Structure 1
């Protein structure tokens, strides 16, 4: 084996966990601490694998937080690496650019934080020449490509590029230093260590391009397995990419099929069974689930009315397990044409279904703007951090609200 390094990004230390904090302070505390615990595990991985370097491709911090406690934590973790002779190479992403701490923090000399202009560090790992190229965001927004600012590859060295990028203007993400995959592959670099997109993506080839994804999810929008990448380079120059799962907490949507269930007790039991099964199938330490009730059932109206009761039932099971948490109950049920309410309530339901209201309607947008302006700055991302995320959140909220109102009208006899 020639040499090894760990590639990670988007750790988001001190993430404010907006939606979780509003619903459950305990959940917010668990996940808030999980970002630090996962970073410690990343350092542990570097030490146990005896790697030559740790690469962090942006968004080590989450934004303008000024927590000196977290700053000290980061310095201590970097000292652990320095004590074993393992350097770290870091670039600032769109979130780091807004962080005062990331600019003021004193880190060990073994940590290289690239400036806002492209730079290259030539070094030697296990007797092999290596060139690490990188550039940090100067500002929170970088709408233009940064790729043309990189220097050419160093001849005779293994060339690594560090870049925080939305990579081809990925759907659901604002354009942050966008570039095309083909442009990365044409640079002549051996490995591109990317960051910004929270889903893992690997593009092998003469120039290997890796987006490791977020190592620790922070809410249900970041459900599923999260990872970092352990890269091993053999003496012949071939690469081995090992996906390592180090998250302390995992989020999962939990489908609960409710079709043909017409008895409330049976529905509650189906929810409890799915909750217990989720934990049995999960090998990690903590699991946060969002049960999603699917299917066609005459109980849909009651579920809309009594979702809080179902949440309490599921939470009771979670508390018995101890390492399982309930995010919230998501209702995606249909009453079926033959069980829709009649009378005025039924007519109102049909009007709502036929008319709808797009999330970008002027009346909706005006209310959203008014809400966001009155929220504290740390909560303004509650509906998402992009136009697409905000539209999806508004649509879900309107649909859920309409169901709850109609359910209560039905309960009162229309």
Structure 2
């Protein structure tokens, strides 16, 4: 007997109807033992975290959730805390002038009465105790030494890596090379973007040291399996026309598919596994159900448009506001493929008040700070991201595309303070 909410919809735990994909699950499992860092990327709500949870046991890794206010030292400190260290500030300064920290292990790793770091061992009647380790949280070598001191042997998962400031992402990409060369520690980086080589763009030395796994791609067969698994668990059968129409309208979004199936079940009063098989769903229901699912985020999407259009501050060119112009006027198919840099420049030069006076630097700078602006405005999950490898502005929230397709574009342009052409 299973609850409908444990099968369909978004849950904190691994959904019961989880489906393995050759392009993602198999690639992840094959690379777990290759001693390379792993990067799991894709749009929001496309199964990145579920992919990691399915492939690994809870005891195989520690998880650090990244913050938009962190620098590299904060990331490293969070890792040490997760491994069991208690951190306090030292009076000593590092070579950069920042304060060092004391890292001390208390109970759980060395036993009930032990505490320590990695230096100055001393004997007592209760066994061996170690004085706290003084280290520089910016220094990868110190972090490696601390982890070695407790014989740490798990994967380190960094969730929401895209929330880190861009400079921190770049700096940590440098640190990742050192972790790979000077230790056996492997990181699993999880972020919202659609660019396979994001971290190697930040640090070319990572080439060959990381493996990227695209969690965004869901083939029609994969989505059909999600439905079939759910049907089996709940002893139901979705109408064939309903299934075809739903897969067509969810545009590869497993989140929209899962939520729509949940809505369909609730409308049919199915809250748990049925004693007798029952067929539910009708083709004419699909558009209404999908619209209901995406409309739940109308407030968030409207807020994104108004906040993004404000930019970091008031400027003469209002570049971030004008970046929304090609987004809000392009076709859904073009947005799904990603808007090319050259196309964006062409649209802006034809419609921006400054027209031909715009220089490439204005456009490039605005595009490259797309994610940073959303993080600063606390737009979570982010909706737009600039792919610096392929020079494309991409929508990384498929729900936004489905929502946009059902909106009055003129009203959205007005919301952003842009003209309707």
Would the TM-score normalized by the shorter structure come out above 0.5?
Answer: no
| Larger relative contact order, structure 1 or 2 (CA cutoff 8 Å, min sep 6) | 2
Normalised by the length of structure 1, the TM-score is 0.29
